A and B are shown apart, each in its own frame.
Chain A
Amino acid sequence: MSKVTSRANGGQVRQGEAGGASPLSKSLYSLSLKPSSRPRTDAASDVCPVCKSSRYLNPNMKFLVNPECYHKMCESCVDRIFSHGPAPCPIAGCARTLRKGKFREATFEDLKVEREVDIRRRVASIMNKEESDFETLKDYNDYLEQVEEITWNLILKIDVDETNHRLQRWADAQAAETGATRRTYEPDPSMAGASGVVLKKGGTQRRALETSSGNTTDTNVKDKGFNFHGLKKKVAPPPEAPFDPFDGWSIAPQYYTLQNDYDADWLTKHKREKEQLVGGYQWSDFYNRALQDAFGGLTVFIDDEIRARDIPSGDAAIGTERAATAAAGGQDVNMDDIF
């Protein structure tokens, strides 16, 4: 099968590119996309297996399936049987418990294909690694191959319980690693024996079920269900530092400490004014600004600092050359009308 061919290519070809197509996928293609050669008036497909009513009598008849067992029945049968809650499948020999909510129209005419697609979708939602998550292409291809194996196990009903458990553990491990909300894996309902819908059961039975499931998750915390070679360790991004609009700069006054209040006659007069009660006006702002002004440049000695700047002032400082000529008493800069 495809496994053999990809190995022969040295594992350096992406499996998706190599066609990756299993015979069933091919059949899927031929079934779904190619215009059906079968006549639409197939007697068997147009008669509901439950109530035996046919499309001939009811042209608007719609057939629904439930992914528990993929048995087909008409819409009115579904309404009739499952309106009052879960009930066993009416098809002889099936007896799975079905819910009305799960019924849907089949996308594919071949219900085997429908089932495969469902399984593939479920597996893909859990096994969602990408090539960039692996160290080498070979590792990625091995991973894809293993995923395909799991899928086939589920489709061909080999080791279903075991595979489902492993998938569940893998999903848990992934969720724990990313810190995302736990994605629960719903095992294939058409396979599961015990984990299907529980009809009204006694309390003891339910409790026993809960403990058993609890046990399994507890014991499986250690192993992740699968072990893929060459999977990169996920590095959590460093926590973002709180935003600092001043980029680490702050104003630290050297000559004063802002006090809560200052006393002066002229201040008390102003403080009683009605205008000062307006929201947003703070006396501390005035104090701070006044004190900042009072000491801003106290030890800036212009004589020394300008000399140290060693630039003939008036040249380097002027923004544009034209402004320089104008400022130096040259000719005026033209006032250009922008319109």
Chain B
Amino acid sequence: MKLNEDDLYRTSTQFRQWSFTAEQLAAQRAKTNLQATERVKLNVARQRAQRVQAAELDSTSGNSGIDGSGANTPNAVTSDKEVDCLTVTEEMTFVEEFCERTMALGAHCKFSDNVIATCVQFLRRFYLYNSPMTYHAQNISRTAMFLAGKSESEHQSLDHFATNISSEKTKVTPEQILAPEYLIVQALRFNFDVKHPFRALKGGVLDMMSIANGKYEGPNHSIHKTAADLSTAIHQLPRKTGGLAAKATSQQLADRIMRESYSPAAQTLKKTAALTDVYFLYTPSQIWLAALLLADEPLVLFYLSVKMPSTSPVYEKVIVALRECALILSSHRSHQKLHLPADEQARMDAEHRAEVKRLIKKLKLCQDPDKLDLVKLNQAQKRDAVQGSDLDVHKAKRRKMDRENFQKDSDTFWGPELPTYGAKPA
């Protein structure tokens, strides 16, 4: 019984739980959006009714509003307009923006590329089943970063991380980071492993280099039979598809593979691939080849023709998949920007910023009022919840007494007294 690389990949949770067809993805997003919209409208209506009731009571007793906190900026409850919820596209733009911000956050915390990419995938997976209207991406992204650091074994202690991401304007407490942790983990269905195409790209480039050096030993389905033939063939590859074949020196070829192909492909993977849906739609192997295809098409096609017979239908299918994946990557804003003049780039950025600003403002008016304070929600679920009643105070006091007594006893020379069975404990 033999397993090949594909079988191994099929066992991963990324394939089993987090791979979708484009339609499924769209349907799931629409469903999430619909559910969130209904909930937000319902909750807002309920809270507004409560507010009106309270206001009526207050008018008789002469108190101020029910919550004085959000006095200056209206939120979904305090504004009197009809709730205008985000659409699916707006949600996606919003999440994407926060993915980008998270990348900056990760870089600020000096996390490695792996952690940042994992965190972005956590966010994307989380917002597949949750709407930013329910849980604000600001809160979720911090915790996702903390979680990603842990799952990629680059743990930063909670306090250190909290001070790291706090700025003068916004103070982040450890409780704020921990509050949605379980929520996220559960939305991720406890799948912490994200398979990235980074190491895969390195492996592939190493393999190409061994072809270039004439030391290739793997399967060979091309017309060039020996390793030396392959080496000459790769040296004569045209620079562009349909271009003229030109003999390159081995130094030029190494430069071409490492500088002109590998580096841009790595950049694409790090930035663009994380911001698009390719992780859901394609396998890491296809993603790195697609990124490389954008950088150096003749090289990838030659490489593939070595790896599998070009007459087989699978070869055609792989090429089609790679081109589709490459299209998704190249049509993304962050990739398009690279090939535009500076003023055009600035214009695009400005446009994007304006759009994001509008969305953040809009989200403020359609945020689910029940899920605003995650810290409080988290605490409410814990033992000895903070809604302090007399009974709770009594209980806490008794527990404290017990604990102190035990501590005192255990400090004595022979330790605490053993319980005497049958007799009534003192």
Interface residues of A in 321-339 (CB under 8 A from B): 323, 326-330, 332-335, 337, 339
Assess the B17–A317 pair: CB atoms within 8 A.
yes
How would you classify the secondary structure of chain A's contact residues: helix, strand, loop or mixed? loop
Chain B contacts for A8, CB-based, 8 A: none
Q: In the complex, which of the residues B5, B215, B282 contacts A255, with contact meaning CB atoms closer than 8 Å?
A: B5
B209 within 8 A of A: yes
Count, chain A residues at interface, CB 8 A: 53
Q: In the complex, which of the residues B129, B199, B205 contacts A293, with contact meaning CB atoms closer than 8 Å?
A: B199
Q: Once the chains are docked, how many angstroms separate the CA of A314 from the CA of B130?
A: 13
Chain A contacts for B186, CB-based, 8 A: 323, 326-327, 333
Q: Once the chains are docked, how many angstroms separate the CA of A166 from the CA of B205?
A: 79
A209 shortest CB reach to chain B, Å? 63
Q: Pick out which of these stretches binds chain A: B6-14, B336-344, B350-358.
A: B6-14
Chain A contacts for B308, CB-based, 8 A: 255
Known: A306-B24, A317-B16. A297 touches B1 (CB 8 A): no
Chain A contacts for B131, CB-based, 8 A: 329
Q: Once the chains are docked, how many angstroms separate the CA of A11 from the CA of B215?
A: 83
B161 within 8 A of A: no
Per-residue 0/1 for B353-397: is the Cβ within 8 Å of any A Cβ (1 yes, 0 no)?
000000000000000000000000110011100000000000000
A296 shortest CB reach to chain B, Å? 4
B46 shortest CB reach to chain A, Å? 15
B176 within 8 A of A: no
Assess the A267–B206 pair: CB atoms within 8 A.
yes
How would you classify the secondary structure of chain B's contact residues: helix, strand, loop or mixed? helix
Known: A264-B258, A306-B19, A317-B17. A259 touches B5 (CB 8 A): no
A94 within 8 A of B: no
Assess the A339–B200 pair: CB atoms within 8 A.
no
Q: Pick out which of these stretches binds chain A: B67-75, B187-195, B407-415.
A: B187-195
B168 within 8 A of A: no
Interface residues of A in 87-115 (CB under 8 A from B): none
Chain B contacts for A318, CB-based, 8 A: 189
Assess the B9–A329 pair: CB atoms within 8 A.
no
Assess the A296–B6 pair: CB atoms within 8 A.
yes
Known: A297-B283, A298-B286, A302-B281. A326 touches B187 (CB 8 A): yes
Measured CB to CB, the residues of B under 8 A from A are 1-6, 8-10, 15-17, 19-22, 24, 28, 31-32, 35-36, 39, 129-131, 134, 182-183, 186-187, 189-190, 195, 197, 199-207, 209-210, 213, 215, 217-219, 254, 258, 281-286, 288-289, 307-308, 314, 317-318, 321, 377-378, 381-383
A-B contact pairs, 6 of them (CB 8 A): A262-B206, A294-B200, A295-B200, A296-B8, A314-B129, A317-B16
Measured CB to CB, the residues of A under 8 A from B are 248-257, 259, 262-267, 287, 289-303, 306-307, 312-314, 317-319, 323, 326-330, 332-335, 337, 339
